């Protein structure tokens, strides 16, 4: 089955983890043997060949660079200008992949439909470029709001104002507080450009404020359910209901600590914690039960988002194993039509609606 993954940090892995994502996953992990600078060395699950193997032909791919003020213990850049430069390096990597025919940027309905025609109706899949929709995870790198239009012209089509901790435009995971004037102005500019709001990582205060002030298209690229794993990173039932009312699609994530309760980072083991792909189905099913249908869930794995096989379902070796999900859904009573919606159809419907009367300039 064709699959869309709505959240992958591909350029971060290429530049900060120094992974040549054109190479086989075994080679990437072999070259990292003995390295200790990252917690997931040698445990990568994502590369372009594995995306093709899994028939994952379209992804939402990120740029990410955090600004940290003095006293903020999180890793990040000491100025917005440095953060911007980091995102531009990440953009350059995507463009280099395009030059090689490895990837192709999707920015509008025309490029979307052309890419779907290629992946759904032409062979062989082994040489097809991976389509990517560019998303910015955390808005800190936007030096000022004029940079948002620059980013749009470079292909940016989705934006999450916050990541972890306090941000320049909004507060994210493990923090609190409403957006200031800059954050509200960012939402206005996003709406003008028809940039999708990614509600993932917004702290509760900022989430509710954004729902009140932003009238454009909203999704949550990679998020799970607070009622199953109680953490502010997850969505409460009330948040899920509002997102459903707004026509959002929520992508189920495969970071183990978001899937099973009581996970201890760096200590817990996926097998001992019984973390399997079935746990993802639990979260997707919970959202479907709230919605009363299968129209608002999709896949947004976040695989290799600073974690690897040591912190994801133990029945997943590489991202190609997303192909196991349809049969798991079938066992829960989901129909073939439901499977298509969850694996790719809901995201496609969302893209088409968001871009059908695109006013972005």
Is 360 within the bounds of a domain? no
Measured between alpha carbons, how far is 300 from 198 in angstroms, rounded to an integer?
Answer: 12
Q: Read off the CATH number of the domain in which 120 is found.
A: 3.20.20.140
Is 337 within the bounds of a domain? yes
At residue 198, the 3 state secondary structure works out as: strand
Cβ 203 vs Cβ 236: under 8 Å: no
Cβ-in-10-Å burial (0-12, 13-18, 19+) of 284 comes to: buried
Is 41 within the bounds of a domain? yes
DSSP code string of 41-96: TT-----HHHHHHTTEEEEEEEE---B--TT--S--BSSHHHHHHHHHHHHHHHHH
Is 85 within the bounds of a domain? yes
Token code pair at residue 66: 């955090």
Whether residue 359 has pLDDT greater than 60:
no
Looking at residue 280, its pLDDT comes to 98
Looking at residue 126, its pLDDT comes to 80
Residues spanned by the domain of 90: 3-355
Looking at residue 121, its pLDDT comes to 87
Cα angle 98, 319, 117 (rounded to 5 degrees) comes to: 50
Q: pLDDT band for position 360 (50/70/90)?
A: very low
Is 165 within the bounds of a domain? yes
* Closest alpha carbon to 6 in 312, 260, 305: 305
pTM for this one? 0.97
Q: What is the mean pLDDT of residues 315-344?
A: 98
Whether residue 361 has pLDDT greater than 90:
no
Q: Are strands 196-198 and 3-8 parallel, antiparallel or unpaired?
A: unpaired
Is 361 within the bounds of a domain? no
Is 13 within the bounds of a domain? yes
Is 214 within the bounds of a domain? yes
Q: pLDDT band for position 357 (50/70/90)?
A: confident
Alpha helices in the chain (DSSP H): 10-15, 25-31, 48-53, 80-99, 109-121, 146-153, 181-193, 204-213, 237-245, 256-259, 277-291, 325-331, 336-340, 346-355
Q: For residue range 133-170, what is the model confidence (pLDDT) as tens digits?
A: 999 999 999 999 999 999 999 999 999 999 999 999 99
Looking at residue 99, its pLDDT comes to 98
Cβ 12 vs Cβ 64: under 8 Å: yes
Average pLDDT of the residues of the chain: 97
What lies within 8 Å, CB to CB, of 9 at 6+ separation is 61, 62, 64, 137, 302, 304, 305, 306
Q: For residue range 174-216, what is the model confidence (pLDDT) as tens digits?
A: 999 999 999 999 999 999 999 999 999 999 999 999 999 999 9
Cβ 35 vs Cβ 295: under 8 Å: no
Looking at residue 123, its pLDDT comes to 74
Whether residue 64 has pLDDT greater than 90:
yes
The total number of structural domains in the chain stands at 1
Looking at residue 358, its pLDDT comes to 73
Looking at residue 127, its pLDDT comes to 87
Cβ-in-10-Å burial (0-12, 13-18, 19+) of 360 comes to: middle
Q: Name the one residue in this structure whose structure tokens are 């940027």.
A: 105
Q: For residue range 224-266, what is the model confidence (pLDDT) as tens digits?
A: 999 999 999 999 999 999 999 999 999 999 999 999 999 999 9
Looking at residue 122, its pLDDT comes to 81
Q: pLDDT band for position 124 (50/70/90)?
A: confident
Residues comprising the chain, all counted = 361
Q: Are strands 103-105 and 56-63 parallel, antiparallel or unpaired?
A: unpaired
């Amino acid at each position: 089955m064709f699959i869309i993954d709505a959240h992958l940090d591909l350029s971060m892995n290429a530049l900060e983890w120094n992974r040549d994502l054109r190479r086989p996953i075994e080679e990437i992990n072999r070259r990292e043997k003995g390295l200790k600078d990252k917690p997931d060395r040698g445990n990568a699950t994502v590369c372009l060949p594995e995306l093709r193997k899994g028939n994952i032909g379209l992804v939402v791919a990120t740029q990410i660079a955090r600004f940290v003020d003095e006293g903020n213990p999180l890793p990040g850049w000491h100025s917005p200008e440095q953060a911007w430069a980091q995102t531009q390096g990440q953009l350059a990597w995507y463009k280099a992949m395009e030059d090689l025919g490895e990837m192709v940027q999707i920015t509008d309905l025309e490029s979307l439909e052309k890419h779907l025609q290629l992946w759904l109706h032409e062979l062989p899949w082994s040489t097809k470029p991976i389509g990517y929709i560019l998303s910015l995870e955390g808005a800190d790198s936007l030096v000022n709001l004029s940079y948002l239009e620059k980013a749009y012209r470079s292909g940016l089509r989705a934006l999450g104002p916050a990541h972890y901790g306090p941000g320049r435009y909004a507060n994210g995971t493990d923090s609190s507080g409403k957006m200031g004037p800059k954050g509200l102005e960012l939402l206005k500019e996003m709406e003008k450009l028809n940039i999708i709001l990614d509600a993932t990582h917004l702290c509760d205060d900022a989430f509710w404020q954004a729902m009140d002030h932003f009238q454009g298209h909203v999704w949550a690229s990679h998020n799970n359910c607070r009622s199953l794993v109680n953490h502010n990173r997850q969505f409460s039932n009330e948040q899920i209901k509002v997102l459903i009312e707004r026509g959002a699609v929520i992508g189920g994530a495969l970071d183990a600590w978001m899937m099973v309760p009581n996970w201890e980072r760096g200590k817990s083991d996926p097998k001992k914690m019984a973390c399997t792909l079935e746990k993802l189905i639990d979260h997707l099913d919970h959202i479907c039960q709230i919605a009363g249908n299968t129209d608002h869930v999709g896949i947004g794995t976040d695989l290799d988002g600073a974690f690897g096989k040591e912190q994801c379902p133990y029945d997943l070796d590489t991202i190609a194993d997303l192909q196991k999900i349809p049969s798991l859904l079938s066992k829960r009573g989901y129909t073939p039509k439901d499977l298509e919606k969850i694996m790719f159809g809901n995201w496609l419907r969302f893209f088409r609606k968001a871009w059908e009367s695109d006013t972005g300039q």
